[in-house]
Amino acid sequence: MPPPERRVLIVGGSFAGLCVARDLKDEFLVTIVDAKEFFEYTPGVLRAYVKPKHLDALTFTLQPVIEGRMACKYIWGEVLDLNGSERTATIQPMFSEAKETIDFDYCVIAAGCNFGVFHKWGESLWFPTIHAAARPEGSWPHLDERFLEGRRRHILEEYGAIQKLSDKAASILVVGAGFIGVEWVTELQHFFPKLKLTIIDFLPQCLGPLPAKAAAYCSKYMDKHGIKQFYNTKYDANSPEFWRKIELPSRPDKEYVCIGVKASNYFMPKDTLSEKGPGGGGWILMNTSLAVTNRDGKLWSADEQGYPRIFTVGDCNYGCVEAPGQKPDDWPIPPIPKISYPGEEEAVIACRNIVKIDHIQHHGATHDFFGNPLKISGMHWPWGAGMFATSLGPDDACFVAGANWQKNSGLMCVWGSPCAVQKEIIEASKVDECAFGIVGRLIWHFVHHTPVHLFGGAPRWGY
């Protein structure tokens, strides 16, 4: 079999980006570009700030995994510009003053997102500050979080700051009672029980649109552990009445904002980015095949035969395909939450579409192994996007399955210490899978490569 010739560029060494590399590495020359030198399991990073040694279980250096285990190419650098018509990317390598331009045959954007909706660059504790333009304007410019050691130093600094607050039994306000806010406030309570903790949200319950039973379980846990809760309460730092309402008339010693997500697709042309959406918009637009489109709905990077060459997966994309004048129930793709499962599902579909296009154009194929005509696969609302595991400290948690884009949907099916163990297993096996470990891949491969789908909107016989 001849060696692969076509080149695939992956922007971002995220969950979804590494999933793309695993699926395409045997048929294509795969290159991953990431502005940081390490992978970080974002869902577990909250605990690292209250238990710093936990960071070791969440991270690994990308180069040995991508180049040593996967036999792909890794470029440590930031993508500054992506040219759809020329199929080129301008990159600022980490250890070079000169920019470089590389070309590709196919591209998958898996650049993730940020979390600080009130900050210009989306800065937050939950994701490292890695973009060149954001670092000088950030709150910790003395630390370079593109390096794993820089990330570690930031976590140690924040841990030390929390320890000092705990020593004086300080008051802390957590703004936002979604699963990030709930996890953060309960982690703080478990590891620093002297802190006086308050959590607020503008919605009538915690966990946002998840089922009332799960919200009640988390609320009961927080009440039992002395965490004050205020719902139907909008954050207004300039209002004395707001501070009186949440019983902090002198304001708290520290505030943590845990609200929503913010786009960080600075390398994309504005015409390919949404004008609306979480955090003020800026999400990469797509069609049902996950190919990047412009605001008019036309393919942004199409070849001579009209096939797409650039796809977008995971948290960086718009997360839905709308149908003007219709309710989300009737959209081609209803809103998908920005969590890891749907990002990896999207990665599988984008990979299959790249393989199909390549087989049609370069191998003369017209049908697959089973005699079915080769055609581009469409994305669906993945059933796994409705699974949420919310930690309540290290010893308790609740797990919701079956949720969708409708409020209060889903079912709380696991809770208590068994759920805490479940989440630990998920975390350890997912990190191992991303590191190309055999155990993690054996556990998770068929979750996203299921040969037969009996429910969930996917094709009956897979992709």
Residue 387 has which token pair? 């699974």
Provide the strand spans (E) within 304-410.
310-312, 388-391, 397-401
Question: How far apart, in whole angstroms, are the C-alpha atoms of residue 310 and residue 317?
Answer: 12
CB 369 within 8 A of CB 410: no
Q: Which residues pair with 74 in a beta bridge?
A: 32
pLDDT of residue 340: 87
Which whole-number Å values give the CA distances from 128 to 24, 37, 124, 138, in the listed order? 27, 11, 8, 11
Helix (H, G, I), strand (E, B) or coil at 92: strand
Candidates 459, 306, 324, 336; CA nearest to 403 is 336
pTM confidence score: 0.94
pLDDT of residue 192: 98
Candidates 336, 323, 268, 277; CA nearest to 297 is 323
**pLDDT under 70 in the chain at which residues?**
1-3
Positive or negative: CA dihedral 192, 198, 203, 206: positive
Q: Residue 330, Cβ neighbours under 10 Å: how many?
A: 10
Using the CB atoms, write b or e for 230-261: b if 16+ within 10 Å: beebebeeeeeebbeebebeeebbeebbbbbb
Helix (H, G, I), strand (E, B) or coil at 127: strand
Question: How far apart, in whole angstroms, are the C-alpha atoms of residue 316 and residue 111?
Answer: 6
CB 21 within 8 A of CB 32: yes
Which strands, in side-by-side order, build the sheet including 73-83?
100-103, 88-93, 73-83, 29-34, 7-11, 106-109, 310-312
Residue 360 has which token pair? 């049609």
pLDDT of residue 239: 94
pLDDT of residue 324: 87
Q: Which residues pair with 200 in a beta bridge?
A: 175, 230
Residue with tokens 């309570």: 189
pLDDT of residue 2: 54
Instruction: Indicate the residue type of 91.
Output: I
Instruction: Indicate the residue type of 356.
Output: K
Q: SS3 helix, strand, coil % of the chain, rounded to 5?
A: 35, 20, 45
Helix (H, G, I), strand (E, B) or coil at 130: coil
The region, left, alpha or beta by phi > 0 then psi within -120 to 50, assigned to residue 323 is beta
Residue with tokens 């988390």: 218
Q: How many helices (H) and strands (E) does the chain have?
A: 10, 16
Residue 68 has which token pair? 């040593």
Residue 366 has which token pair? 């017209």
> Which residues lie below 8 Å from residue 256, measured CB to CB, with a gap of 6+?
125, 172, 173, 174, 175, 181, 184
Residue 164 has which token pair? 């000092």
Exposure of 34 by Cβ count < 10 A (0-12 exposed, 13-18 middle, 19+ buried)? Answer: buried
Residue 41 has which token pair? 């399991």
Q: Which residues pair with 175 in a beta bridge?
A: 200, 257
CB 90 within 8 A of CB 81: yes
Domains of the chain: 7-116+262-379 (3.50.50.60), 135-260 (3.50.50.60)
pLDDT of residue 189: 98
Q: 29-34 and 7-11: which strand pairing?
A: parallel
